[in-house]
Amino acid sequence: MTNREKNCSTLFAVEGRPFFGTLIVVSVIVAIAQCAWWTLLLGGLTAFVMYFFRNPERVVPQEAGAVVSPADGRVIQKKTVMEDKYLGAEAIKVSVFMNVFNVHVNRSPYKGKVVDVDYIPGRFINASFDKASELNERNAVVIETEEGKKLLFIQIAGLVARRIVCYVEPGDSLERGERFGLIRFGSRVDIYFPPDSEVNVKIGDKVVAGETVLGVMK
């Protein structure tokens, strides 16, 4: 069973198990050795790591054309851009910034077939900076919808993030709201809408992956 399949039914993302599993073992050993302060410190760290890798279920909207947020967090950018590399067309770009307290499991914003996945090595500057879209390590996914439109979303590593995980590859199918990957420890996801879409969110809005409708494709 792949991690994509496993994460459909687990309370915590499977990628977190090595982290909090190790911390639990070390915490127990330290507790047995009666090192009170270390036990408290490691217990707190273990709780935080488990919280970070939580993998909650979401109620996905079913309205026609609804494009849901690919990430939990806050909208930090919304503007019309020329996206030459993957779409070769004008697009409406929306950026969602995830801090370390947000759920970091990413979800597909729409139903469609994956036509391109492109991983680009890069830097690890603060993901809230606009230049992170071009300089940071990132992973781009393009899906083609049943209506024949293309939707681009890009996972972007941040200042602390050092690992982008993507479960899909070209030829795979995604459902709206389906988990497709995650980014460890603070990051961002950009989504590029077709230019005739109605994008309703504004800068500063808090959004929830798989539930918050960012806009509607016409």
Q: What are phi and psi of 147, to 5 degrees?
A: -85, 0
| pLDDT band of 128, cuts 50, 70, 90 | confident
State the Cα–Cα distance between residues 199 and 176, nearest whole angstrom: 17
**16-20, 140-144, 153-157: the lowest-pLDDT one:** 16-20
State the Cα–Cα distance between residues 108 and 138, nearest whole angstrom: 16
Per-residue pLDDT reduced to its tens digit, 30-51: 888 778 888 888 888 888 888 8
pTM above 0.75, yes or no: yes
The more confident residue out of 26 and 190 is 190
Q: Can you spell out the DSSP letters for 129-197?
A: STTHHHHB-EEEEEEE-TTS-EEEEEEEE-SS---EEE---TT-EE-TT-EEEEESSSEEEEEEE-TT-
Q: In what order do the strands lie in the sheet with 179-183?
A: 105-107, 179-183, 164-166
Per-residue pLDDT reduced to its tens digit, 195-217: 999 999 999 999 999 999 999 99
CB 196 within 8 A of CB 55: no
* Active-site hit among 69, 95, 187, 197: 187
CB 165 within 8 A of CB 183: yes
Residue 187 is among the residues annotated as catalytic for this protein: yes
Query: Which of 214, 105, 111, 213 has the alpha carbon at shortest distance from 167?
Result: 105
